[in-house]
Chains A and B, each alone.
Chain A
């Protein structure tokens, strides 16, 4: 199982960024996928959780209305479109695959991509 995030970088408040997560080694279309972030020196925070089909998506209140999660099951890829970014969105963003038979637990994680929001 491999998950590789990309797309992070330095942006100004109010700007947008799109993260990608390329996966391999498992049946991508068969699993929920999640985005979890970690601000520098802080703990883990859920961002979103998307169903196998992409039709059901849950978002943290802190990103609702600004972030959009999607997936392309034909390309085994997960995406996070982030708009109207705030300084407090600065974090490492991880994509992760659900654990089997444990909805909401994350069995495999990418290495993360850093997003820095600063003027």
Chain B
């Protein structure tokens, strides 16, 4: 089971966003992060805890191992306001976290 905190993060453009994902048991580095905007499909941001997917801007970074993972957006752009899901693939059934909504203050 994955938990994400906070559930909602209210920030202004240019601010730093730090999102947390915690697993109930060790998942190694088999964690990914997805971004989803309203009306759109999810987009893969990171896989294997910290490997940036193709086309993801450098202001996004991710880290972690074991049970604790972090997604950081160094300076929020207007296009970054979205829901972010972590995901683990240690064993089937793979699971998504409940998501963190980053909205504009």
Pick from B43, B48, B96, B97: contact of A102, CB under 8 Å = B48
- Min CB distance, B2 to chain A, in Å? 10
**Contacts between the two chains (Cβ within 8 Å), count:** 58
Q: Contact between B87 and A105 (Cβ–Cβ < 8 Å)? A: yes
Q: Contact between A43 and B93 (Cβ–Cβ < 8 Å)? A: no
Per-residue CB contact flags for chain B residues 88-101 toward chain A (1 = under 8 Å, else 0) read 01001111111100
Per-residue CB contact flags for chain B residues 16-42 toward chain A (1 = under 8 Å, else 0) read 000000000000001010101000111
Q: Which residues of B lie under 8 Å from residue A104 when comparing CB positions? A: 30, 89, 94
Main SS of chain B's interface residues? loop
Say which size band chain A's interface belongs to.
20 to 34
Q: Contact between B92 and A112 (Cβ–Cβ < 8 Å)? A: no
Stretch at the interface among A12-20, A23-31, A44-52, A81-89: A44-52
| Complex: A94 Cα to B54 Cα, angstroms | 20
Q: Contact between A43 and B96 (Cβ–Cβ < 8 Å)? A: yes
Q: Contact between B96 and A105 (Cβ–Cβ < 8 Å)? A: no
Q: Contact between A111 and B41 (Cβ–Cβ < 8 Å)? A: yes
Say which size band chain B's interface belongs to.
20 to 34
| Complex: A61 Cα to B92 Cα, angstroms | 10
- Min CB distance, B48 to chain A, in Å? 6
Pick from A43, A60, A106, A112: contact of B99, CB under 8 Å = A43
Q: Which residues of A lie under 8 Å from residue B34 when comparing CB positions? A: 44, 106
Q: Is B85 at the interface (CB under 8 A from chain A)? A: yes
| Complex: A58 Cα to B48 Cα, angstroms | 21
| Complex: A102 Cα to B88 Cα, angstroms | 11
Q: Which residues of A lie under 8 Å from residue B93 when comparing CB positions? A: 46, 58, 60-61
Q: Is B11 at the interface (CB under 8 A from chain A)? A: no
- Using CB atoms, name the residue of chain B closest to A62: B93
- What would 6 more interface pairs be, CB under 8 Å, given A44-B36, A104-B89? A43-B96, A46-B94, A49-B94, A99-B47, A99-B53, A106-B44
Residues of A within 8 A of B (CB): 36, 43-46, 49, 58, 60-61, 94, 96, 99, 102-107, 109-112
